[in-house]
């Protein structure tokens, strides 16, 4: 994976003869970032004997690389490779969200209606028909799911990998009853996207669960990274960086399984 990430990293200009220590190795810093993402430990507890450097050094690299779009670029490169090898199915997309507790508060948090009013955030996710994450966003825990439907579809990047124009719109979007609102159906229909959204007040058994389970499976994979189970960061950009990196890692695993 380093061979894919390295060309995306910004180049540091360091004139010859510059005094002081050289910048810490990017590859070791990336290993430190991944260690925190997988284990969920605080930055200051990053073991020095691993050789990944200081926790704050890794934190700064995560922040700086997010600001210049490294994680988003990595996600798009992997999506293009998945499409090139015919592993991406954009005929159908599935959306869902999940709640997580935000212990330290901060931007993009809110009083959670499912956690006794404690501060919380939501991960909103859209995947292809195979459960490959296309885009993910973070909002406050009190935001209604349906309000993020349009934003999720818009967040899908232009996916290359095939001859012709990049693809960024699925033909059909599926969702559960939480996304039932005719206003947002009309918005997607105006863009040429059909919807399959369960109606509120109807009996269970719409049949969407037979195909919509893939997004719930991907959410479970994201929460397998312990740093994404609970939001520890007050800064929303740091948490979004972890979320974007987690989506890229899921795409990378799909490529490796093949």
Q: With a cut of 70, say whether residue 250 has pLDDT above it.
A: yes
160: Cβ–Cβ under 8 A, 6 or more apart, which residues?
76, 80, 83, 166
Cα separation, 111 vs 96, in Å, equals 20
Which tens digit of pLDDT belongs to each residue from 188-228?
A: 999 999 999 988 877 676 678 888 899 999 999 999 999 99
- Does this model's pTM top 0.75? My answer is yes
Task: Give me the mean pLDDT over the 99-107 stretch.
Answer: 91
**Lookup: tokens for 48:** 């020095």
For the chain, the residue count is 258
In the 8-state DSSP scheme, what is residue 167? B
Which tens digit of pLDDT belongs to each residue from 136-156?
A: 999 999 999 999 999 999 999
Secondary structure class of 122 (helix, strand, coil):
strand
Which tens digit of pLDDT belongs to each residue from 1-46?
A: 999 999 999 987 776 667 777 888 999 999 999 999 999 999 999 9
148: Cβ–Cβ under 8 A, 6 or more apart, which residues?
97, 124, 137, 139
User: What's the mean pLDDT when you consider all of the chain?
Assistant: 92
The predicted pLDDT at position 15 comes to 67
pLDDT-derived band at 186 (thresholds 50, 70, 90) equals very high
Strands (E) located in the chain: 92-101, 110-111, 119-128, 133-140, 172-175, 194-197
95: Cβ–Cβ under 8 A, 6 or more apart, which residues?
124, 125, 126, 127, 149, 152, 173, 174, 175, 179, 215
The predicted pLDDT at position 205 comes to 64
Whole-angstrom CA distances from 186 to 128, 165, 197, 258 are: 21, 25, 12, 38
């Amino acid at each position: 994976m380093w061979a894919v990430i390295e060309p995306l990293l910004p180049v540091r200009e360091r004139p010859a003869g510059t005094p002081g220590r050289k910048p810490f190795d990017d590859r070791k810093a990336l290993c430190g970032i991944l260690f925190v993402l997988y284990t969920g430990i605080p930055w200051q507890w990053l073991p020095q004997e691993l050789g990944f450097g200081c926790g704050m050094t890794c934190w700064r690299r995560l922040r700086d690389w997010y600001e210049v779009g490294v994680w988003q670029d990595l996600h798009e490169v992997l999506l293009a490779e998945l499409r090139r090898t015919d592993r991406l199915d954009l005929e159908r997309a599935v959306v869902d969200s999940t709640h997580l507790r935000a212990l330290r508060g901060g931007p993009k948090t809110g009083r959670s209606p499912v956690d006794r009013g404690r501060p919380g955030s939501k991960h909103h996710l859209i995947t292809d028909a195979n459960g490959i994450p296309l885009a993910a966003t973070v909002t406050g825990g009190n935001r209604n799911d349906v309000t993020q439907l349009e934003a999720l579809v818009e967040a899908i990047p232009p996916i290359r990998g095939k001859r012709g124009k990049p693809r960024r719109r699925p033909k059909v979007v599926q969702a559960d009853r939480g996304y039932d609102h005719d206003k947002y159906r009309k918005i997607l229909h105006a863009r040429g996207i059909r919807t399959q959204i369960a109606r509120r007040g109807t009996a269970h058994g719409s049949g969407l669960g037979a195909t919509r389970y893939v997004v719930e499976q991907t959410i479970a994979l994201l929460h397998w990274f312990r740093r994404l189970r609970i939001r520890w960061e007050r800064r929303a950009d740091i948490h979004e960086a972890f979320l974007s990196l987690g989506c890229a890692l899921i795409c990378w695993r799909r490529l490796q399984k093949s």
